[in-house]
Amino acid sequence: MAAIVRLISLLFITSTLSFCKVSKQPFYSYKTATYSTDSVKRLLYYNHLISYGDYLFEFKITTRITTDIGESQSVSETFDYDTTGVYLLSGIDGFFYEFDTFALENSILKKGKLQDKPSGQNFSFQSNGKSLDVTFDIPQPVEVNNIPCFFTRSVENNKTGGDSIDQKILLIKNPKFNSLYKINGITFTDSNYCIVGFQILNLERKQGLLEEIASIRNLNEDERMICESMIRKVRANPSIL
């Protein structure tokens, strides 16, 4: 009997420690930047995101571009970004929840299906939870903006174009990491990796499109409290319009 009690106590302690380990898992604030590429690299837009378990926070960003033409006819562009609110995205139920601000005192403005989200990432294409119909090389380690990542070349299985298009997928090796791709059901063949970007390059024209991770850091305690409060509010109001 004493042995059984000790076993139950050990199981309880183990499960408690496991729970604590999960609850203390790191969550991340990160930015991705998308560029057009030819002879130069031009910023098109960026996304500010928070990976929080099964949820992803996408900050609403208003971009203002000021173009100046100098005396030598050189063009200079200035980008001004204004964060106006945040979306809480759920790949579990396929809904977005729009909040007025990222703060403890917040209000839910709107709820809807991901494909009906009015701004930010377009989710009108739904993958229905299927992996990409492509063949991948073995992921290779690479540093992007001093961030440890992996990349893999991909070939579409039903490819109809020529071989002049080079395609790469950028990955973070972390099974708990979340991204706009994962929220949309677009996943890598190995669940230990999360898709965070890509590179498509026309080798003949030397033109392409690039999305890369620009920065990443762990959330601080204040940010974690805000995320938790928003998630609790969503769970407490599942039928909110």
Give yes or no for residue 226 having a pLDDT over 90: yes
Give mean pLDDT, residues 147-166.
78
Q: Looking at the whole model, is its pTM more than 0.85?
A: no
The pLDDT assigned to 70 comes to 62
194, 171 Cβ separation under 8 angstroms: yes
pLDDT band at residue 92 under the 50/70/90 scheme:
confident
Helices (H) and strands (E) in the chain, counts: 3, 12
Query: CA nearest 168: which of 145, 134, 192?
Result: 134
Give yes or no for residue 227 having a pLDDT over 80: yes
Give mean pLDDT, residues 79-91.
78
The pLDDT assigned to 200 comes to 92
pLDDT in tens, 11-67: 333 333 333 333 467 899 999 999 998 888 899 988 999 999 999 999 987 666 666
Q: Distances from the Cα of 90 to the Cαs of 55, 97, 183, in angstroms?
A: 5, 8, 7
First to last CA, the chain: 55
Q: Which residues contact 140 (CB under 8 A, 6 or more apart)?
A: 150, 151, 152
Could you give the CA distance from residue 192 to residue 173 in angstroms, rounded to a whole number? Answer: 6
The pLDDT assigned to 47 comes to 93
The two three-digit tokens of residue 181, written as one number? 């791709």
